[in-house]
Amino acid sequence: MKWEIVIGLEVHTQLSTNTKIFSGASTAFGAEPNTQADAVSIALPGVLPVLNKGAVERAIKFGLAVGAHIAPRSVFARKNYFYPDLPKGYQISQMDLPVVGKGALTIQVEPLSGNAKPYEKVVRITRAHLEEDAGKSVHGAAQSMTGIDLNRAGTPLLEIVSEPDMSSAAEAVSYAKTLHSLVRWIGICDGNMQEGSFRCDVNVSVRRPGESLGTRREIKNLNSFKFMQQAIDYEVQWQIDTIENGGKVQQATILFNPDTGETRSMRSKEDAHDYRYFPDPDLLPLDISPAMIEAVHATMPELPIAKQARYTDEFGLSAYDASSLTSSREMAEFFDAGVAMVGAANAKLCANWLIGEVSAQLNRDGLDIAQCPISAAQFGAMLARIADGTISNSGAKEVFRALWSEGGDADAIIEAKGLKQVSDSGAIEKIVDEVMAANADKVAEYRSGKDKLFGFFVGAAMKASQGKANPAQLNEVLKKKLAG
């Protein structure tokens, strides 16, 4: 039987402020447990929250990046629930009037299996609201006990809620990756998933074609794209099997166990009315002026989609190349620096090396482009020597390996290793004459119509030059000489 999958995401993005959303306590990661749990974060009697302007600016920046409506007035509310890592019994969040309204994010979907081609999709964003984070339960802190670390309590979050527009694990993962790249690109979040800076809750339901939405189950706190894909695939099959076997899916909050590859129920799922939202009496409504929005807009970098369009229009790059080069802001900046050194005419050369050799070596070493041992200046200097014919492509690979492992200067490496190409026409003609004299029989065959022998002469001449002959010049001289 045919089933339709319906997926929506709620992404908790930890904002990159130095202090908490309602107090001056530090948000630095890794401090000793409970050393950053200040009186405001845990709402001790007599304290009052004061809104962090930096958190608001980052929320506005996100809204601008996804073309969303920025509310001129938004309200903070108390979301009431009891949990051990929320000792004050409520979380300050937003409900009816969030700071960021409806927007959209365009994603490139890479199918996870099969021969399906990549495709583009627009995912609607319902809202993005500011809130404070809760603390953290540390299971196994002592034998048979769970510890509570409240350092994270009060850390500013932007919760980004999508419409249920995704219909596969591939689309959900592509959306999460695109969002992850965007919040890092505009500088509102470091995106460190291992530290919990970017956490995803995935709402999954299934239905038969033509039916209304099925009952959703929410997979909580996924901090890995791989685990997200595995969790969705398992949950979808579980729901289908449950319904087809005569059972009924109950709305619930569930967890994914990466060791078993299974989801399990954590608790029954609450609805909004269960939290008894009401406006926080200690916080005035947040008024955002057009001047503030304009000031934030002035700090925005060129966005990935605009940069992709510029790369294709200005440099003639393919859509694939442009997309690869804007996979992160650091990658795009590395490319821009390289092009600045070799010129727009050699942008394709720069793109090919970054997407090819550089990315492959980064993957082998488990590094990000920001950790690349070759600087953009060293990279650009090497490309310049390829572009002006000083070194061949194979020689460039040797220079690249030396720069990667030892550092240094491209010109010095070329000189030390004797990699400079022979571009002197007289020297190349001499090499060609010697090769032709040593292979007179093949010259005769070539001139009788066996054009395929041209490759033989190229290989022989390159070998005679120890790989140093300029390929373009060599080909030109060979064609002229062989033609008689």
Q: How high is the pLDDT of residue 115?
A: 72
461: tokens are 């001449």
Q: Which of 110-114, 302-306, 428-432, 469-473 has the highest mean pLDDT?
A: 302-306
At residue 153, what is the residue type? A
Reference 99, options 134, 67, 64, 127; nearest CA is 127
| More confident site: 363 or 391 | 363
Instruction: Check pLDDT > 90 for residue 118.
Output: no
Q: First CA to last CA across the chain, in angstroms?
A: 72
**186 Cα distance to chain centroid:** 12
Q: Please state the pTM of the whole predicted model.
A: 0.84
Among 67-81, 219-233, 373-387, 414-428, the minimum mean pLDDT is found in 414-428
Among 212-216, 387-391, 445-449, 469-473, the minimum mean pLDDT is found in 469-473
Residues 393-400: contacts with CB under 8 Å, at least 24 apart: 394/467, 395/419, 395/421, 395/467, 395/468, 397/357, 400/353, 400/357, 400/361, 400/374
- What are the start-end ranges of the E strands in 133-171? 136-142, 145-149, 156-162
Residues of the chain with CATH 1.10.10.410: 425-482
Instruction: Check pLDDT > 70 for residue 54.
Output: yes
63: tokens are 């809204």
CA distances (Å), 128 to each of 12, 62, 399, in order? Answer: 10, 9, 48
- Percent above pLDDT 70 for the chain: 97
Reference 264, options 296, 290, 245, 238; nearest CA is 238
The helix or strand, by DSSP H or E, that contains position 132, with its residue range, turns out to be strand 119-132
Q: How high is the pLDDT of residue 437?
A: 86
Instruction: Check pLDDT > 70 for residue 353.
Output: yes
Q: How high is the pLDDT of residue 425?
A: 72
| 423 pLDDT tier (thresholds 50, 70, 90) | low
| 270 pLDDT tier (thresholds 50, 70, 90) | low
Instruction: Check pLDDT > 70 for residue 138.
Output: yes
Rounded distance, CA 140 to CA 377, Å? 49
Instruction: Check pLDDT > 90 for residue 21.
Output: yes
Instruction: Check pLDDT > 80 for residue 428.
Output: no
Residues 6+ apart with CB under 8 A from 233: 169
24: tokens are 């001056």
Q: How high is the pLDDT of residue 43?
A: 87
In eight-state DSSP terms, residue 235 is H
Residues 6+ apart with CB under 8 A from 288: 56, 60, 70, 71, 72, 73, 74, 99
β-pair partners for 78? 92, 278
pLDDT digits (tens, 9 = 90+) for 155-169: 999 999 999 999 999
| More confident site: 88 or 10 | 10
Q: How high is the pLDDT of residue 426?
A: 78
The mean pLDDT of 128-139, rounded to a whole number, is 93
Q: How high is the pLDDT of residue 418?
A: 84
| More confident site: 432 or 329 | 329
Among 56-70, 172-186, 352-366, 443-457, the minimum mean pLDDT is found in 443-457
Task: Region of 374 please: left (phi>0), alpha (psi -120 to 50) or beta.
Answer: beta
Reference 304, options 312, 295, 296; nearest CA is 312
| 424 pLDDT tier (thresholds 50, 70, 90) | low
Instruction: Check pLDDT > 90 for residue 363.
Output: yes
394: tokens are 């194979």
Q: How high is the pLDDT of residue 250?
A: 92
Q: What is the DSSP string of 277-321?
A: -EE-TTSPPEE--HHHHHHHHTTPPPPHHHHHHHHHHHH---HHH
Task: Region of 89 please: left (phi>0), alpha (psi -120 to 50) or beta.
Answer: left
Look over the chain and give the mean of its residue pLDDT values, rounded to a whole number. 91
Instruction: Check pLDDT > 80 for residue 1.
Output: no
| 298 pLDDT tier (thresholds 50, 70, 90) | very high
pLDDT digits (tens, 9 = 90+) for 217-233: 999 999 999 999 999 99
Q: How high is the pLDDT of residue 471?
A: 74
Q: How high is the pLDDT of residue 272?
A: 60
Rounded distance, CA 12 to CA 480, Å? 66
| 473 pLDDT tier (thresholds 50, 70, 90) | confident
Q: How high is the pLDDT of residue 372?
A: 96
Q: Which residues of 20-58 are buried (b: 16+ CB within 10 A; e: fewer)?
A: bbbbebebebeeeeeebbbebbbbeeeeebebbebbbbb
Residue bearing tokens 């229009």: 313
Q: How high is the pLDDT of residue 114?
A: 67
Helices marked H in 207-274:
225-244
Q: How high is the pLDDT of residue 183?
A: 97
| CATH fold group of domain 425-482 | Arc Repressor Mutant, subunit A (1.10.10)
Q: How high is the pLDDT of residue 271?
A: 65
- Percent above pLDDT 90 for the chain: 70
Among 167-171, 188-192, 207-211, the minimum mean pLDDT is found in 207-211
The mean pLDDT of 251-259, rounded to a whole number, is 92
| 93 pLDDT tier (thresholds 50, 70, 90) | very high
User: Are the beta carbons of 354 and 330 closer than 8 angstroms?
Assistant: no
